[in-house]
A and B are shown apart, each in its own frame.
Chain A
């Protein structure tokens, strides 16, 4: 056969496949059922929260860069930090290496942590300029951003908690039930196989989602606010118990930092899950409120 004929046959075949695929999609879309998943209040609070968390993380890294080391206890034991990011110098005073120290371990993290490139020049700084707000080393400005958005974050977070409790959104959708915990094992296996609930089961959060949202909203959230307040010398004069609870100001600073990275970890998993379980469907439901489910897939659902 001529190459041309082969190509034409291939084209016809792929077109056929493509049209069949589109027909299947149209069919599924026609059968698709939409339900109103997120109220306007929840959607607004979600996006305000997302903006606040981004600003808080980046301005927080800017503040951290002013002294890129973490300690346990009330004071900074400068010779033995728990974690530190530093740049190593050669005899000429040039930065040659970025080092991340965690306990007894040292890692070469040149270009990312400890020392990174600024205008092509390797410069000693904890986190690189693209991760901080503002970009250049500017502690005073980082603090202005951090303490302005802290108020919005806290007011927004409290508004959500009050709304969720009053409208029973928290009790109905967020608090894990005994049943959720019982099915936890199977749910983990399903998640690892990337099998996501469909049909009726997709209308409510599964156990892992509930545990994740519950932890972020009711554990990490309050923890990051309280450890933040523990770093304030004025607040310590009012609530010295905070120091006792967190084991001192420097411990509180370390826990504050760990909470921030828990938020970051949650965010990464959150985005991966949004993408794997239908990007546009999820994003639309958080913009317009409407979430689509395929009813014909009900047999494969669980829970």
Chain B
């Protein structure tokens, strides 16, 4: 009887240890399957809806003072697109940089840097939060994306704004082979979402996305596309690249980058 009990205990101990090991290896194996990450990713929609419920289209990212500026603002991702076309543009002070705004708009047009500077400007000192966990504070000046979209007259069918960038992605696995990102219209028309051409009072430097980068202050860093060279309004981004709405999204990061 006592032995039976001992055996039962031994069995339970082994079972518990076995279950633990199985759980751990199982968790690892599950990450490799096709279906389980989809189950995990189902939380993304819930997170987005709940955050939007609180944030709506109006809540403003905190703005800081000049005293809070990061002494060194870390440049991440592409530090220099380095393509012959880009190098030529940079050598010429980006005077020939053009950003076509097209897709589902009534009046497609092309923006030069002077056009961009012609829009009412907004300067904001905000915190940049990288998905890796670090934060830097910088001052950004640019034109509200909402005003640019108004000028183009977005069609009712359009749901997303896609930003195509000049930096080629080195691993060569991405299609398009350049960085791209997307925002929905709520985030695109947010008052702090700007096409920035200045950082800390000077024209954008190459590591920080010269000549134009996106700032969307309620989202993580990978949404803030650098080297923006084309803007397209679309109904869906399924047909673009890996179909997930951005370079990092195609690599498995969530499209909702509010957390």
Which residues of chain A have a CB within 8 Å of any CB of chain B? 22, 25, 51, 54-55, 58, 63-64, 66-67, 69, 71, 74-78, 133-135, 138-141, 143-145, 147-148, 150-151, 229, 231-238, 240, 243, 249-250, 253, 280, 283
- Stretch with Cβ within 8 A of A (4 or more), from B33-41, B141-149, B167-175, B231-239: B33-41
Q: Are B28 and A147 in contact (CB under 8 A)?
A: no
- Stretch with Cβ within 8 A of A (4 or more), from B54-62, B77-85, B116-124, B152-160: B54-62
Most B-side CB within 10 Å, residue of A54, A55, A76: A76
CB neighbours of B43 from chain A (8 A): 144, 147-148, 150-151
Interfacial residues of chain B within 73-107, with CB under 8 A of chain A in the complex: 74
Indicate whether A234 sits within 8 Å of B41 (C-beta atoms), given known contacts A139-B131, A147-B47.
Answer: no
Given known contacts A66-B131, A140-B253, A237-B62, what 10 new A-B pairs fall within 8 Å (CB)?
A51-B23, A54-B23, A64-B133, A134-B27, A139-B253, A140-B248, A141-B31, A144-B41, A144-B254, A150-B43
> Given B127, B136, B252, which contacts A233 in the complex, CB threshold below 8 Å?
B127
How many angstroms between the C-alpha atoms of A189 and B42 in the bound complex? Answer: 50
B interface size (C-beta, 8 A): 50
| Shortest CB distance B10–A (Å) | 11
B219 at the interface (CB under 8 A from A): yes
Q: Are A139 and B132 in contact (CB under 8 A)?
A: yes
How many angstroms between the C-alpha atoms of A22 and B2 in the bound complex? Answer: 7
Which residues of chain B have a CB within 8 Å of any CB of chain A? 2, 9, 12, 23, 27-28, 31, 37, 39-44, 46-47, 51, 54-55, 59-62, 64, 68, 70-72, 74, 127, 129-137, 217-220, 248, 251-254, 258-259
CB neighbours of B37 from chain A (8 A): 141, 144
What total count of A-B pairs have CB within 8 Å? 137
Q: Are B136 and A237 in contact (CB under 8 A)?
A: no
Give 6 CB contacts A-B under 8 Å.
A54-B23, A74-B68, A75-B136, A147-B43, A150-B43, A237-B55
| Shortest CB distance B48–A (Å) | 9
| Shortest CB distance B49–A (Å) | 12
CB neighbours of B251 from chain A (8 A): 140
CB neighbours of B130 from chain A (8 A): 67
How many angstroms between the C-alpha atoms of A138 and B31 in the bound complex? Answer: 10
How many angstroms between the C-alpha atoms of A283 and B254 in the bound complex? Answer: 39
How many angstroms between the C-alpha atoms of A187 and B259 in the bound complex? Answer: 43
How many angstroms between the C-alpha atoms of A232 and B129 in the bound complex? Answer: 9
For B31, give the chain A residue with the smallest CB separation. A134
Q: Are A75 and B135 in contact (CB under 8 A)?
A: yes
